[in-house]
Amino acid sequence: MSANKHSGPSVALLGGTFDPVHNGHLRLALDVLNLGFDEVRLIPNAVPPHRPQPQATVEHRLAMLQRSVEAESGLVVDDVEIRSPEVTSYSYQTLMQLKKLFPNIAWTWVLGSDAAAGLDKWHRWEEFVRSINVLVISRPGYCMPRSGPLHEWQQQAEVASIEDLLASTSGACYSLDLRDLAISSTEIRQMVAEGRSPRYLIPEGVLSYIGEHQLYRP
């Protein structure tokens, strides 16, 4: 990776539905920041292409995210994908937009291993992984495939350390076991729908927001 050694800012991107944001997302973002990134940007999507549509509106999901990160200056909510909410959120297009706006930044897309296992179904995925670094964080219950196109890409793109990833402008992949937090938005939605408390799995501010706006009730 020495041919494209990077000396400018390194920014990590965490895309998701955040329906709602939970402590699994937030602790992941902070752990990633502490690896040596200058910033972690959380990008809520408007119309996710590969999954059922979110239950909460873009406005609610954005408000819950903003409440959750306001105390951490290194974590930033980026509304790049929800400025045109009628359009499907393709990460490749988002990345191209960001690269045009900030040409000196080296971007790393952060993915839980559940999302990473489906990366080869993404719009223009091969160009995407050539244009950015990818950081795969293990998520309880999911691992990457051991054969096929994703496995082959990982074999040739995987670097030996996080320092190598931070030194690269694009095309590198690194897989990391951070900490296993078995929390998902699906479970939070189910708990609220069934009248069970999701307290301590989500920030207090998100809990009160869900209550105030009667979200995720049947």
Q: Which residues bind ligand ATP (CB under 6 A)?
A: 14, 16-19, 24-25, 28, 111-112, 114-115, 137, 139, 181, 183-186
- Taking the complex as a whole, the smallest distance from the CB of residue 3 to ligand ATP amounts, in Å, to 29
Closer residue to ligand ATP (CB): 65 or 159: 65
CA distance 100 to 148: 32
Distance from C-alpha of 194 to C-alpha of 150, rounded to nearest angstrom: 38
Where do we find the tokens 């930033």?
76
Supply the minimum distance, in Å, between the C-beta of residue 99 and ligand ATP: 20
Q: How far is the CB of 41 from ligand ATP (least distance, A)?
A: 13
**Beta carbon nearer to ligand ATP, 98 or 137:** 137
Nearer to ligand ATP, 28 or 167 (CB): 28
CB 134 within 8 A of CB 173: yes
Residue at shortest CB range from ligand ATP: 112
Minimum Å gap between C-beta 119 and ligand ATP is: 10
